[in-house]
Amino acid sequence: MMSSAPPSRLQGSTPKEYDFYKTVQDHLDRAAKLAKIEPYVQTILSQPKNELIVNFPVRMDSGEVRLFKGYRVQHNNLLGPFKGGMRYHPQVSLDDVKALAATMTWKSALLRLPFGGGKGGIKFDPHSVSRQELQRITRRFTHALGENIGPEYDIPAPDVGTNGQIMAWMMDTYSNMVGSAQKQMVKGIVTGKPVASGGTLGRQKATGQGIVYCILEWANEKGHNLEGSTLTVQGFGNVGSNTAVILSRLGVATVAVGDHTGYIYNPEGLNAHKLQDYVEANGTIAGYPGGKAITREEFFATKADIFAPCALENQVGEAEARALDVKVVAEGANGPCAQVGERILLEKGVDILPDVLANAGGVTVSYYEWVQNKRSEMWSEEDVDVRLEAAMKRAYREVSEYARQRKCDMRMAAYAIALKRIEAVYKEREIFP
């Protein structure tokens, strides 16, 4: 989330027993079989390269010292530096971060980016602390990670509960750690920075924009007219709100929205721009006057053309999948569909645009930011969008073509393409020593 307001209050409803890492492992196993990946490559990719846990003290406003637990998982860096977001959320756990880090490896490979995969975070609720505490936690975490991150080694970005402001604090802390002579050379230590601090135009909306390019390709392929279509969105932070706003310009009406506080509905369409401004100011959709409150069950049963889950993993289980009455699910969040949910949706004939494809616009524009930082350049927003559009549409077509040829679903196709690219490099470079 990149608003100037503090990150939205998060509670999460992911049940403890859900094993996100196992889900991602199962995807890997099935795709490796489909693409006939060398067993030794699959073995290497089945575990992250590095798993780092840091416990660090922070003095709170009250004077009390609290210990925080931070994670950074570096899954793979064969194709380039580890790359992936930082999540601040009470449910952050090592296994979930491992799952998210692996997902980043596939995403970077699928989009042909010179990056590997990583992910990190801190287990706490960013809304339970003051702004100054949030800054001290972020700076101390960055310091604790020390040389385990770096602009040519491992590059964090925003994720759930973090935003551009937090990236600015991370960059500032890191640049103060490397010494005066290198200060200007390390802007690329994080991406998703505010533009004035070295961020790129177009990054804030990039993930939503990328989702929309995928939806456009999907509509084109299916002969579906987006003008007059309807959308439901779960999660109205950075990804969800930008997806809804950009789709509204294409004539798509957002009829139901939900976040951690509840769900709202308006059959005439909620004004996505106004709702985004409201969330920017209030941190949540709660109290927004333009819609009627509905339950989570009613939200999932709301008929629409497109459903964009943009909150957390494991939101679409059996009940939700049975209730959903949509044509396509565009996964803005990472891992929103549990395997059982995915199976039911596919059986019902619902198309799923998988996370590793649909939400890859964020890391793609992060790459553009990183390149601009290296070259001390500033591209126009149009430049960024043109490149992003070409990258997303090419990836979509590759995935769609593979799925058609191999008669598999789009997630398996996306994984298989990514794995093949990584395998090719392992075969060329072989294993050290």
Which of the ranges 165-173, 212-220, 331-339, 384-392 carries the binding residues for ligand NAD, by CB under 6 A? 331-339
Binding of residue 45 to ligand NAD (CB under 6 A): no
Is 235 an interacting residue with respect to ligand NAD (CB under 6 A)?
yes
Host H or E run for residue 258: strand 253-259
Rg of the chain over Cα atoms, rounded to whole angstroms, equals 20
For residue 405, the minimal CB distance to ligand NAD (Å) is 27
Considering the complex, state which of residue 332 and residue 341 has its C-beta at the smaller distance from ligand NAD.
Answer: 332
CB of 149 to ligand NAD, least distance (A): 18
Please spell the DSSP secondary structure of 212-229, one letter per residue. HHHHHHHHHHHT---TT-
Considering beta carbons, is residue 126 or 151 the nearer one to ligand NAD? 126
32 or 411: whose CB is closer to ligand NAD? 411
Decide: 307 and 230 in contact? Cβ < 8 Å: no
Q: Which is nearer to ligand NAD, 143 or 290 (CB)?
A: 290
Q: Report if residue 4 touches ligand NAD, rule: CB under 6 A.
A: no
If binding is defined by CB under 6 A, does position 334 make contact with ligand NAD? Answer: yes
| Pick from 72, 94, 92, 96: nearest CA to 84 | 72
Cα–Cα distances in angstroms (integers) from residue 363 to residues 1, 334, 375, in the given order: 14, 13, 18
Run of H or E residues at 375: helix 361-375
Name the closest residue to ligand NAD (Cβ).
Answer: 237
**How far apart are alpha carbons 27 and 415 in whole angstroms?**
8
Q: Which residue number, 312 or 408, has a Cβ lying nearer to ligand NAD?
A: 312
Binding range to ligand NAD, per CB under 6 A, among 50-58, 179-187, 246-254, 308-316:
308-316
Quote the CA–CA distance of 80 and 105 in Å, as a whole number.
Answer: 10
Is-contact 6 127, C-beta < 8 A?
yes
For 376, which DSSP code? T
Annotated active-site residue 83? The verdict is no
**Scanning residues 207 to 226, which ones bind ligand NAD (CB under 6 A)?**
207
Residue 359 touches ligand NAD, criterion: CB under 6 A: yes
Question: What span, in angstroms and rounded, lies between the C-alpha atoms of 242 and 233?
Answer: 11
Exactly one of 362, 379, 396, 411 binds ligand NAD (CB under 6 A); that residue is: 362
Give the total residue count for the chain.
433
| Angle in degrees, 0-180, between the axes of helices 381-406 and 206-222, rounded to the nearest 10 | 50
Token pair 């889900």: residue: 23
Smallest separation (angstroms) from ligand NAD to the CB of 40: 30
Select the residue interacting with ligand NAD from 106, 169, 236, 288 (CB under 6 A). 236
| 237 lies in the site for ligand NAD, by CB under 6 A | yes
Give the span between the Cα atoms of 254 and 270, in whole angstroms: 6
Contacts with ligand NAD, 140-179, as mask; x by CB under 6 A: ------------------xxxx------------------
Considering only residues 250 to 279 of the shown chain, the ones binding ligand NAD according to CB under 6 A are 258-260
**Whole-number Å distance between alpha carbons of 191 and 209:** 17
Q: Which pair of tokens denotes residue 181?
A: 């002579």
- Report, as residue numbers or ranges, the catalytic residues: 119
Enumerate binding residues for ligand NAD (CB under 6 A).
1, 7-8, 10-13, 158-161, 207, 234-240, 258-260, 310-312, 332-334, 359, 362
